[in-house]
Amino acid sequence: MGVGRWLAEYLPEVINDLVCPADAKEELLNECESIWKQIEECQSKLMLLGMETLLKSDDKLSLLMMRVKALAAEHNQWQKRSPEIISTNPDVLLALGKEELQKVKNDLEMVLSTVQSKNKQLEEDLKREQQWLEEEEQVLDALNGIEEETKKQVEQLPKARQKVRAFHELQNKMLKLRVYKEELLNALGEFLEEHFPLPEKGGSAKKKNSSEEPAVELITLHEVLEILINKLMSTPHEPYVTINDSFWPPYIELLLRYGIALRHPEDPNRIRLEAFHM
């Protein structure tokens, strides 16, 4: 293996990119060649020493012990030896220093990129943790609110029971009133049906005119009262009902005469039920 090949493999940047005079390059090559020759001589001596040892003895243990001693001696020599400077030329040293600084710079940039990426990941994790913490605090606040509301409900439970009892009593009274109302309506209907029947058996009256038109179906007094009551309750601001041919005039006059119904002050064809509940 020649020194040129060694330099091409291990010092490409020094040989190709070194910015220094030609004499400095030549000096560096000569020094490297001299060091390489010394290394080759040492390697040859070691190979001869190993061959002689193998020829003298086949004992593997002795061979291993000798190798251990040789490595220990070499280790001691390297420990005692101080590092030698490849070259004393300042241009060469400057170029080598720049190369080492560039390597250190590249390594530091890689470390910086890794640290920045890690910091970014940590920031994202921190944001997620903060969001999770806020959600947990909201849930905790909601649970505290529910707890307070439950305590108030427990404290107000006796009052609520009293209110429920009163509500049930009111419902029972309303149910009784509805039943009583139905009974009154049924009794009224039976009374009106018995004492105020329709004027004709068929429940119809023919119009007195020359043309033959179909008879108009008359409604009972009970139905008239029901219409007036429903109108008064559904639209109290406009309780009037328009009289048509289905209303038998004697019944209308009866209601008006006894003050059960009232005519419209401007339209005599409209009547309403007297507001007895007012």
Contact at 8 Å (CB) between 243 and 270? yes
pTM > 0.75 = no
More confident residue, 266 or 15: 266
What is the predicted pLDDT for the residue at 53?
53
Do 15 and 46 fall within a single domain?
Answer: yes
pLDDT, position 107: 92
Is 204 inside a domain boundary? Answer: yes
pLDDT at 120: 92
Residue 278 domain flag? no
74 and 136 inside one domain = no
Into how many domains does the chain fold? 4
> Is there a single domain that holds both residue 11 and residue 75?
yes
End residue of a domain, out of 172, 195, 218: 195
Quote the domain boundaries for residue 173.
Answer: 157-195
Q: Which residues contact 219 (CB under 8 A, 6 or more apart)?
A: 227, 246, 247, 248
126-158, pLDDT tens digit by residue? Answer: 999 999 999 999 999 999 999 888 888 777 777
How many Å apart are CA 105 and CA 111, to the nearest integer? 10
Task: Assess if residue 38 is contained within a domain.
Answer: yes
d(CA 199, CA 233): 29
CA distance 101 to 152: 74
Final residue in a domain of this structure, among 88, 107, 138: 88
Predicted pLDDT of residue 204: 46
Residue 273: Cβ-neighbour burial (10 angstroms; 0-12, 13-18, 19+): buried
More confident residue, 47 or 234: 234
Per-residue pLDDT band for 4 (boundaries 50, 70, 90) equals very low
- Looking at the domain assignment, is residue 98 inside a domain? yes
Does residue 97 share a domain with residue 81?
no
- 3-state SS class at 242: strand
Give residue-wise pLDDT tens across range 95-118: 878 888 999 999 999 999 999 999
